[in-house]
Structure 1
Amino acid sequence: MNAQKAIDPATTSARDSAPSSTWHSQMPDDKEMLRAAVELTRDIAAARPGIYWTDMLASTAVGYGALAGAILVGNPLIAVLLGLLSALALYRSLLFIHELTHIHKDALPGFRFTWNLLVGVPMLIPSFMYEGVHTQHHARTRYGTPEDPEYLPLALMKPWSLPVFALTAILLPPALLLRSAVLVPLGALIPPLRTLVWGRASALAINPQYRRRKPEGEFARMVFWQELGCSTWALSVLAASIAWGWRPLGIALCVVSLTAFLNQVRTLVAHLWENDGEAMTVTAQYLDSVNVPPPALISWIWAPVGLRYHALHHLLPSMPYHSLAEAHRRLSAHLGEASTYRKASYPGLSPLLARLARSTMTAR
């Protein structure tokens, strides 16, 4: 069934006719859906180590292998194709950072350390940049408000904000290199700079108002070692580039820039971005989020590691990514085509981007 047809006209009309500042807060929770989401998925709620380890390690090996090929091969066309493959594989590897924020710390022994060693530190995006940040996005009273680090009312902003939002991601890799190679070491000597870098440049956040609080306890110790690893790696890469040439670093930055761009485009369609700052019910948060389930053909490529079920993830934040497809199947079958649950399903990337673009053109 076409997911667009699953939207209830009465609900849609009520939402569209209500003032944009009120429809979210006025929407009551669908208790049947919330109860079913918990009760029907208890038996698939445990992370399966074999899937996590195999997927992460294979994606990482393909990503770095293709990157090495892109750097070493002489044929420009083959180099470009290998670069594209590397970007897609590393994109998948990087998105395991999302899983790290939700799985229990004892669920996958050694996974966080290995991911940081192989992916987070070499890509200069260690897990601390998301841990302790992303959970605020899921907080019941923070989602969609100015205190949400991962929310902007993009649908209510000007049309030019969308391409700017997407294209600025290309600058992320050189910015991360500057952060780890220059700003963090200098911050160790200059406390005000350290405070600034931590508060403004140490979180994967899109809300410019967000300021990160100083880390404490065990988390602060983890941050120290991850920062040390990133700075050591960044300075080593720069030293090697000075000694042996800048071509490998340039190609690597291009590949990671493409990865960052892909993630930013995915972010554009992770939500409808229609909330203007008010607190929302769980159901309203769900309907402001997006599922792109089958029969969408390539959503697993541009929204990997379970992120094509982003709305479902907001119902069940701790559900492991490999169980989301089965959870979606069960809930769809149990609740039916006319249910609230089906209203968060969309047919693909292009329709969602078009919807968001139209929203910006009519925003006041």
Structure 2
Amino acid sequence: MTTETISLSRDQGAAAKRAAVAVRADDKAMLRAAADLTRALNKPNASIYWADMLGSALLGYGALALAIWATSTGILLVAALVAVLALYRAGSFIHELTHLKPGSVPGFRLAWNAIVGVPLLVPSFLYEGVHNQHHAKTYYGTANDPEYLPLALMKPWTLPVFLIAAALAPIGMLVRFGVLAPLSLFNPRLRQMVVARYSGLQINPVFRRSKPQGKFARDWLVQETAASLWAIALIGMAATGVIPMRAFLIGMSVASGVMFLNQVRTLVAHLWENDGEPMSVTAQYLDSVNVPPPATLPALWAPVGLRYHALHHLLPGVPYHALGEAHRRLTRELDASSIYFKSNHRGLAPLVGRLAASSWRA
């Protein structure tokens, strides 16, 4: 969820410098090594996908139930934290769904939507068909990229707004699926707006989504209908007391925590220094972030392979469970002077500090 009131403030000198980076020639040696060394890692392991997703969801919902039933504040807070972390991990598989080839993990998309996507009101159609544009070579970092904002070049107040909007996203999802979706069935103009502006997990406020076509349109309809029925049921049960207000608010708070944590991770997934010009693959890589070991906390705030986000932009076909091995192979084989190492960062705090400093300078 973003706001169209965000405005850009550009420093001409910084923009010129970043434009030079944007047209940087591709490091063909690095790109060739990345492809050659990881060729055998492209096949997803279905057992890992199922065990990880189901285990994370089970832990998350169990912890949420404990938080709701807890009689002490301490147990409630600990259980809620576990629920946020586990459901965040389970929800992060929406990213993997956009890269899995059809049939590579049979039934996984349906199961994820039934267990995670619809209950959390983030069905996979919100990301499928959107995220692929973020990986398009000529779209990345431009106005056509739904997942890019030049945050490093924007006013400092946009950073807290960016995070606060995410914390309020569960309310927005309830309204989107429980109110706007049903009403849009009777109003074509409203339907057009819902599809174009409120049907994608995007951060670019000027991005407008196209109407779905073919099989994807049918998948969209099924997922949206299920999410709408669930949202209407939640609103109705909370309003009539079938679900106690305390339980409803705890559930919404956990969902808010999941969205907030994901937005924090998004805040440091890239350096956000591109000024809208098309970028080479190497420049896109350098604008993206790896937070590899020995750092340990990224396993919590950047799960399901997201700690290797820059590497993922080099090798979007490598499944999340193989990215660690891909990184080890590249660091072992590439010379220490390789550009590959320039996207490796130490942790969350230095990245946030760098982004905040860039924003203040801009």
Give the TM-score of the pair, scaled to structure 1.
0.94
| Distance (Å, rounded) in 2 between the aligned partners of 1:46 and 1:313 | 15
Report the CA distance shift for 1:18/1:199 in structure 2 as closer, same or farther (over 3 A).
closer
| Amino acid of the structure 2 residue aligned with 1:331 | L
For the pair 1:31 / 2:41, whether they are aligned, the reply is no
Quote the offset at 1:77 in angstroms. 1.3
For the pair 1:62 / 2:59, whether they are aligned, the reply is yes
Report the CA distance shift for 1:257/1:18 in structure 2 as closer, same or farther (over 3 A).
closer
| Distance (Å, rounded) in 2 between the aligned partners of 1:258 and 1:169 | 9
| Distance (Å, rounded) in 1 between the aligned partners of 2:265 and 2:82 | 18
| Amino acid of the structure 2 residue aligned with 1:341 | Y
8 Å CA contact 1:90, 1:259 repeated in 2 = yes
Secondary structure, counterpart of 2:190 in structure 1? helix
Matches within 5 A, 1:108-257: 108-241=105-238, 242-244=240-242, 245-257=244-256
Give deviations 1:2-43, integer Å, cap 9, x for gaps: xxxxxxxxxxxxxx9882352233311000111111110111
| Distance (Å, rounded) in 1 between the aligned partners of 2:354 and 2:103 | 41
Quote the offset at 1:269 in angstroms. 0.4
CA RMSD, 1 decimal: 1.1
Quote the offset at 1:51 in angstroms. 0.3
8 Å CA contact 1:20, 1:275 repeated in 2 = no
Secondary structure, counterpart of 1:219 in structure 2? helix
- Other-structure match for 2:289: 290
- Other-structure match for 2:266: 267
- Other-structure match for 1:351: 350
- Other-structure match for 2:280: 281
Report the CA distance shift for 1:17/1:183 in structure 2 as closer, same or farther (over 3 A).
closer
Percent identity, aligned pairs only? Answer: 56
For the pair 1:312 / 2:301, whether they are aligned, the reply is no
Give deviations 1:283-317, integer Å, cap 9, x for gaps: 00000000000111211110000000000000001
Aligned partner (choices 75, 82, 99) of residue 78 of structure 1: 75
| Distance (Å, rounded) in 2 between the aligned partners of 1:297 and 1:124 | 30
Tell me which moved more, 333-342 or 315-324: 333-342
- Other-structure match for 1:5: none
Tell me which moved more, 172-181 or 243-252: 243-252
| Distance (Å, rounded) in 1 between the aligned partners of 2:15 and 2:232 | 54
8 Å CA contact 1:170, 1:260 repeated in 2 = yes
| Distance (Å, rounded) in 1 between the aligned partners of 2:118 and 2:17 | 42
For the pair 1:45 / 2:42, whether they are aligned, the reply is yes
- Other-structure match for 1:4: none
Give deviations 1:150-177, integer Å, cap 9, x for gaps: 0000000111111111121111001101
- Other-structure match for 2:9: none
Report the CA distance shift for 1:18/1:158 in structure 2 as closer, same or farther (over 3 A).
closer
User: Which ranges of 4 or more aligned residues in structure 1 deviate by more than 3 Å?
Assistant: none
8 Å CA contact 1:291, 1:308 repeated in 2 = yes
Secondary structure, counterpart of 1:34 in structure 2? helix
8 Å CA contact 2:151, 2:273 repeated in 1 = yes
8 Å CA contact 1:21, 1:278 repeated in 2 = no
- Other-structure match for 2:6: none
Unpaired runs of at least 5, structure 2: 1-12
| Amino acid of the structure 2 residue aligned with 1:299 | P
Q: How many residues align?
A: 348
Report the CA distance shift for 1:69/1:17 in structure 2 as closer, same or farther (over 3 A).
closer
8 Å CA contact 1:291, 1:310 repeated in 2 = yes
| Distance (Å, rounded) in 1 between the aligned partners of 2:18 and 2:339 | 21
- Other-structure match for 2:101: 104
Quote the offset at 1:107 in angstroms. 0.4
Secondary structure, counterpart of 1:19 in structure 2? helix
Give deviations 1:60-80, integer Å, cap 9, x for gaps: 000000001111111111011
